[in-house]
Structure 1
Amino acid sequence: MGNIAIYPGSFDPITNGHLDVILRASKIFDKVIVAVLENPEKKSPLFTIGERVELIKKVTKNVYNVEVESFRGLLVNYAKEKGAKVIIKGLRAVSDFEYELQMAMMNNKLNNELETLFMMTSSKYSFLSSSLVKQVAMYGGCIKDLVPDEIIEDILKKIKGY
């Protein structure tokens, strides 16, 4: 499998928008590694890194060419270690682009053999973020159609104990 891509993110929790990008990327690349990272800018995650990895594995278990791992450190180093030549970044709206472009340019500066592929999420998920899912769940709103059905209970249990 030489055509390897990495889809990095905090995925706290994974949403249907994230899953949309994963499934579409899995049709393009031989292997997609969903890389769960500890993001120091995101305070007080709901799920531990290990829990996030397990939730993503649960919803991608039937996608043969998707692997899920966690990592720390520079994404370019992780990509090199995995033999990946492409980083996939999901975009919901134009507002995401400026930050993601800055990150892509830095990653390219650090490793000019690594390309960043921007994938727009499907329009039906363009408003969706993990933060919104957590807010809706915390206030008792319905999160069906926002996250994969298989993990709704996991999220609700975590929110109640949070």
Structure 2
Amino acid sequence: PQAIAVCYADRKLNYGALDAAVNQLSNYLKDVYGIQQGDCVGLLLDRSEWMLIPMLSILKLGGIYLPIDKSYPTSRISYILEDGRAALLISDTPYTDESGINVMILPDHIEKLSAYSSELASVAIHEEDLAYMIYTSGSTGTPKGVKIRHSSVT
């Protein structure tokens, strides 16, 4: 638990702290946003340790994470969120579009996470369950979703 798991810029997290943060965010997402197994959650985040923590949190809940490049135009982001049937978008900056998707601005919630348990009830995840989706440019110019299963990740 004391070994370094994540290094980003001048920040480091050991495995114990990473697991605790992931579990606290998982419990928060489940309690506040109702995220559960099979739900898709969009991630519109800059690279940092706080990009990895939501990915792992979503996976531990049995959810599907949907990484989205912040450089995409709003219309493309909206299309990806709608096509991917995202239940929530986690972003590090405010985001609005016409879809009306529920957005969690991560920095506004980090302090609240300490009130949540660092223990997480186990979720039965099977190799055929989806782990994440990525969108390619698509040969027609319309983004195409590619679904990646846990068996491909492991």
Is TM more than 0.5 here?
A: no
Question: Where is the strand percentage greater, Structure 1 or Structure 2?
Answer: 2
TM interval, short-chain normalised: 0.3 to 0.5
Question: Where is the helix percentage greater, Structure 1 or Structure 2?
Answer: 1
* TM-score normalised by length of structure 1: 0.34
Q: Tell which has more relative contact order, 1 or 2 (C-alpha 8 A, sep 6+).
A: 1
* TM-score normalised by length of structure 2: 0.35
